[in-house]
């Protein structure tokens, strides 16, 4: 076998595996049974659909296209499905939000960028394309999330963030057990997750060991975002600033004089050259105008 | 030949074209109507937006920018003939200095308008002054083009003072108000030694100062391209390459103007075959230099064939732009050089025909510099309609492109009707020197 043939075989293998992989990954998701029957706590109506449409256009339309318009991004493999199609609409609300939360194939997770409320609005918009759809509301009461008290603290000895989740129920303060807690540090763009999501223990606590090398601002401040998700209490998040980062004082690249900076921060040599050119021209102009005056005033 | 003529005859010859002839009126009517048609195209562009052009996300600089570079280029000739050749004491070029200055002024003045036509909102030009950064070549370009227009106007006006006096005295067939304007503009010229000295000093200073300014306008224009890293523009020789290319276009433009003025104004005794022969040689010289820069500009990237450059160069050499590219290089540069080396080809008529080809070549060369690069961005172009990928100018766009050409010809026509195109004062002085 020549090298060339081997090479061709290798390429064919690569393409084959890619196709197999892509087609596998396209049905690589299966919502767990308890997720499948999940329903929205928001009542779908014209207002939620309108909000959902805006969210859809900003986040989903670039790949899925507009529902019913057959304008999905054809260069992706598999081609993102039209979400108004019978196949898509046959999925339950629980399955739809599962895909939104976890992603599928090439599709990323929208759990952290949109959050559950916005995800339901998108589903509300999509259900508008299905005349036979009848919404089943979740028994979850959004007012319950107002009862949640989420407190985080930093434990210096173990270098960890300790999250305490409680709820002020009528019968007194109780610990929220088994709720999913995620901890993030805010970056310039998006959030940086600390460890994996953890479940609260019997006393409503979750402990996240915190890295020691995260760069903070001049004082080492970091903004820590704690997020709780619980079947009963829904989604709650709090942010708090801790001085637990490495103090970092790097002046921005645009703080010095530079060619790419604003006019007031132009390099001195450019200002000098430009001004010299302009002043020379003005001097020449003055010289010429003076000469013309001399010609005009010259006596025979 | 001029020795036999009296001063009065020479003055009469050189001012005879300053009158409203029938031919002039017909020509002006033709230009005005054509300009109105083109301005209507511009009106459509203003009304409906840039959607009426072939410009889009990828090719945002199309025909208009090519046109702008062509106008700036042609205007450089004023510096070459009036300043460089006079500083080098090339006496043969003296009668052509004013023609070159008229062309320089007309083309430089219109160049700015071309940029405004390229902008969907003309009033956004003000943003250059409100938000402009001194670090941006666009600000430098606006500055130097403005300075060049002012300097060219002064360079035309100051040596004209004695001739304006002659016009006010000798032109008896023009309305009295016109004579008054000539008198006013001639600034009490009476030919005193002091006045002559002042003119000499002024033109001397101008001849020196105009050289860096002219180099600057075209170098800065080239930097609008070369200061980006796009394939086909990312070049260190773009400044001199543009400047030499400008001399080619400008010299050819002067040849056309010489031919037309000579025929229309009966100046056969003043613009002779000798002048055509000389300027033909100048055209060969600058064309050879330009050929040298062209070989450099294409040879170096074509030898290395870096990914993006390779794509660009293949499009030019053998791809979709090959017919235009080779036609421009062969008909607009290589053939003119070969032909102009032969003396008979430097006679007025053949030289005129060659120069027209050179001018057309110069215009399309700018098109080749601007457009193909814009069609080849570094990032892949995906999922866009075909008319986004391939640029083809629309009819309205062509109309808007022709408008500034008509304006430049209009300015040249009007200037040639109000001032003597051959410097009278200098012709007389030159003759007096020879008599002595």
How many independent structural domains does chain A possess?
3
A27 lies in the same domain as A115 = yes
Percent of chain B topping pLDDT 70: 99
- Whether A1 maps to a domain, the answer reads no
Cα dihedral B290, B292, B295, B297 sign:
negative
- Whether A294 maps to a domain, the answer reads no
Q: Which of B132, B154, B189 sits opposite A288 (nearest CB)?
A: B154
**CA B253 and chain centroid, separation:** 7
Answer yes or no: is pLDDT of A1 > 60.
no
Q: What is the pLDDT of residues B76-115, one digit of tens each?
A: 998 999 899 989 999 899 999 999 999 999 999 999 999 9
3-state secondary structure at position A43: coil
Q: Which run of H or of E encompasses A290?
A: helix A268-297
Q: What is the pLDDT of residues A140-163, one digit of tens each?
A: 888 888 899 999 999 999 999 999
A20 lies in the same domain as A123 = yes
A33 lies in the same domain as A55 = yes
Which A residues, 50 through 79, put their C-beta within 8 Å of a C-beta on chain B?
73-75
Question: Which of the four pLDDT bands, split at 50, 70 and 90, describes residue A6?
Answer: low
Which B residues, 212 through 241, put their C-beta within 8 Å of a C-beta on chain A?
213, 216
Decide: B383 and A73 in contact? Cβ < 8 Å: yes
- Average pLDDT estimate for B409-431: 93
Q: What is the pLDDT of residues B276-298, one digit of tens each?
A: 999 999 999 999 999 999 999 99
Tokens for A263, please give them: 């006019």
Question: Which of the four pLDDT bands, split at 50, 70 and 90, describes residue A106?
Answer: confident
The mean-pLDDT minimum among A54-58, A100-104, A111-115, B125-129 falls in A111-115
The pLDDT value recorded for residue A3 is: 58
- Whether A175 maps to a domain, the answer reads yes
Q: What is the pLDDT of residues B37-54, one digit of tens each?
A: 999 999 999 999 999 999
3-state secondary structure at position A199: strand
Specify the residue for token string 């004023």: B78
A238 lies in the same domain as A166 = yes
Domain boundaries, chain B: 2-435
Q: What is the pLDDT of residues B167-199, one digit of tens each?
A: 999 888 888 999 999 999 999 999 899 999 999
Of A30 and B134, the structure prediction assigns the larger pLDDT to B134
- Whether A266 maps to a domain, the answer reads yes
Which B residues, 346 through 385, put their C-beta within 8 Å of a C-beta on chain A?
382-383
- Average pLDDT estimate for B238-266: 96
Instruction: Give every CB contact of residue B208 below 8 A, 6+ residues apart in sequence.
Output: B83, B87
Instruction: Tell me, yes or no, if A260 comes closer than 8 A to chain B by beta carbon.
Output: yes
Q: What is the pLDDT of residues A27-49, one digit of tens each?
A: 567 788 878 888 888 889 999 99
What's the domain range around A123?
Answer: 16-127
Q: What is the pLDDT of residues A274-288, one digit of tens each?
A: 999 999 999 999 999
d(CA B355, CA B252): 5
The pLDDT value recorded for residue B435 is: 78
The CB-based long-range contact list for B235-240 (8 Å cut-off, 24+ gap) reads B235/B297, B235/B301, B237/B293, B237/B296, B237/B297, B240/B293
Answer yes or no: is pLDDT of A22 > 60.
no
Q: Which of B140, B198, B213 sits opposite A295 (nearest CB)?
A: B198
The pLDDT value recorded for residue B363 is: 97
Give the single-character DSSP code of B401: H
Percent of chain B topping pLDDT 90: 83
Answer yes or no: is pLDDT of A53 > 60.
yes
- Whether A132 maps to a domain, the answer reads no
The pLDDT value recorded for residue B381 is: 82
Q: What is the pLDDT of residues B386-399, one digit of tens each?
A: 878 889 999 999 99
> Does the beta-carbon distance from A270 to B134 stay under 8 Å?
yes
- Write phi, then psi, for A196 (nearest 5 degrees): -100, 170
Kindly report the CATH number assigned to the domain that includes residue A115: 1.10.760.10
- Whether A88 maps to a domain, the answer reads yes
Question: Which of the four pLDDT bands, split at 50, 70 and 90, describes residue A15?
Answer: low
| Positions of E strands within A44-190 | 148-155, 160-169, 172-175, 180-186
Kindly report the CATH number assigned to the domain that includes residue A226: 2.60.40.730
Give the single-character DSSP code of B281: H
For chain B, the average pLDDT equals 93
Pick the CATH number of B2-435 from 3.30.360.10, 1.20.1630.10, 2.60.40.10, 1.10.10.10: 1.20.1630.10
Among A160, A162, A152, A250, residue whose Cα is nearest residue A212 = A160
ipTM of the complex: 0.91
Instruction: Tell me, yes or no, if B209 comes closer than 8 A to chain A by beta carbon.
Output: yes
Instruction: Tell me, yes or no, if A30 comes closer than 8 A to chain B by beta carbon.
Output: no
> Does the beta-carbon distance from A292 to B133 stay under 8 Å?
no
> Does the beta-carbon distance from B158 to A277 stay under 8 Å?
no
The pLDDT value recorded for residue B72 is: 96
- Whether A204 maps to a domain, the answer reads yes
Q: How many CA atoms lie within 13 A of A290 on its CB side?
A: 8
d(CA A48, CA A61): 18
d(CA A273, CA A215): 41
Which of A127, A156, A180 marks a domain boundary?
A: A127
- Whether A61 maps to a domain, the answer reads yes
């Amino acid at each position: 076998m020549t090298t060339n043939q081997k090479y061709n075989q290798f390429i064919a293998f690569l393409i084959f595996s890619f196709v197999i992989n892509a087609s596998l990954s396209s049905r690589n998701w299966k919502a767990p049974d308890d997720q499948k029957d999940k329903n929205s706590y928001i009542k779908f109506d014209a207002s939620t659909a309108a909000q959902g449409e805006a969210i859809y256009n900003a986040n989903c339309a670039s790949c899925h296209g507009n529902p019913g318009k057959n304008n999905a991004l054809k260069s992706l493999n598999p081609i993102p499905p039209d979400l108004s199609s019978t196949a898509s609409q046959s999925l339950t609300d629980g399955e739809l939000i599962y895909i939104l939360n976890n992603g599928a194939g090439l599709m990323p997770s929208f759990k952290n960028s949109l959050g559950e409320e916005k995800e339901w609005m998108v589903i509300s918009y999509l259900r508008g394309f299905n005349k036979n759809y009848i919404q089943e509301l979740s028994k979850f009461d959004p007012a319950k999330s107002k009862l949640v008290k989420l407190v985080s603290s930093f434990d210096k000895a173990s270098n960890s963030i300790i999250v305490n989740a409680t709820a002020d129920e009528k019968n007194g303060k109780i610990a929220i057990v088994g709720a999913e807690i995620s901890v993030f540090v805010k970056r310039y763009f998006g959030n940086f997750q600390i460890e994996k999501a953890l479940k609260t223990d019997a006393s409503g606590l979750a402990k996240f060991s915190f890295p020691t090398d995260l760069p903070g601002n001049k004082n080492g401040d970091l903004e820590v975002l704690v997020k709780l998700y619980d079947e009963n209490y829904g989604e709650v998040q709090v942010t708090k600033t801790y001085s637990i980062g490495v103090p970092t004082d790097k002046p921005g690249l645009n703080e010095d004089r530079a060619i790419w900076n604003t006019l007031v921060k132009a390099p001195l040599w450019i200002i000098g050259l430009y001004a010299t050119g302009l002043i020379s021209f003005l001097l020449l102009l003055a010289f010429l105008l003076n000469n013309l005056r001399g010609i005009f005033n010259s006596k025979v | 030949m001029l020795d036999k003529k009296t001063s009065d005859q020479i003055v009469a010859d050189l001012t005879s074209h300053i009158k409203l002839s029938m031919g002039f009126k017909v020509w002006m009517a033709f230009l005005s109507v054509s300009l109105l048609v083109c301005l209507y195209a511009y009106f459509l562009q203003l009304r409906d937006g840039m959607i009426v052009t072939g410009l889009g996300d990828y090719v945002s600089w199309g025909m208009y920018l090519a046109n702008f570079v062509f106008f700036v280029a042609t205007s450089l000739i004023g510096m070459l003939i009036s300043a460089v050749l006079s500083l080098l004491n090339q006496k043969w070029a003296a009668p052509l200095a004013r023609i070159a200055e008229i062309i320089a002024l007309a083309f430089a003045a219109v160049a700015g308008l071309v940029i405004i036509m390229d902008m969907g909102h003309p009033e956004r030009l003000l943003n250059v002054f409100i938000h402009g950064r001194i670090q941006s070549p666009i600000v430098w370009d606006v500055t130097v083009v403005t300075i060049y227009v002012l300097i060219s106007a002064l360079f035309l006006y100051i040596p004209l003072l004695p001739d304006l006096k002659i016009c006010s005295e000798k032109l008896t067939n023009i309305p009295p108000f016109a004579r008054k304007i000539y008198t006013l503009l001639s600034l009490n010229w009476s030919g005193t030694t002091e006045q002559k000295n002042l003119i000499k000093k002024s033109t001397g200073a101008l001849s020196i100062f105009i050289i860096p300014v002219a180099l600057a306008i075209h170098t800065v224009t080239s930097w609008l391209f070369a200061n980006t890293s796009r394939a086909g523009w990312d070049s260190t020789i773009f400044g001199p390459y543009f400047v030499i290319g400008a001399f080619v276009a400008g010299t050819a433009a002067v040849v056309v103007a010489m031919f037309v003025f000579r025929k229309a104004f009966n100046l056969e005794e003043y613009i002779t075959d000798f002048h055509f022969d000389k300027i033909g040689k100048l055209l060969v010289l600058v064309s050879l230099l330009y050929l040298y820069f062209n070989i450099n500009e294409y040879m170096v990237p074509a030898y290395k064939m870096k990914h993006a450059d390779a794509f660009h160069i293949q499009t030019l050499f053998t791809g979709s732009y090959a017919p235009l590219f080779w036609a421009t290089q062969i008909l607009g540069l290589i053939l003119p050089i070969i032909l102009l080396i032969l003396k008979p080809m430097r006679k007025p008529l053949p030289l005129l025909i060659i120069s027209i080809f050179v001018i057309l070549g110069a215009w399309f060369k700018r098109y080749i510099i601007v457009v193909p690069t814009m069609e080849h961005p570094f990032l892949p172009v995906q999922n866009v309609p075909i008319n986004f990928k391939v640029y083809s100018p629309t009819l309205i766009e062509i109309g808007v492109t022709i408008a500034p050409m008509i304006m430049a010809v209009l300015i040249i026509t009007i200037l040639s009707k109000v001032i003597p195109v051959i410097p009278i004062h200098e012709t007389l002085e030159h003759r007096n020197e020879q008599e002595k």
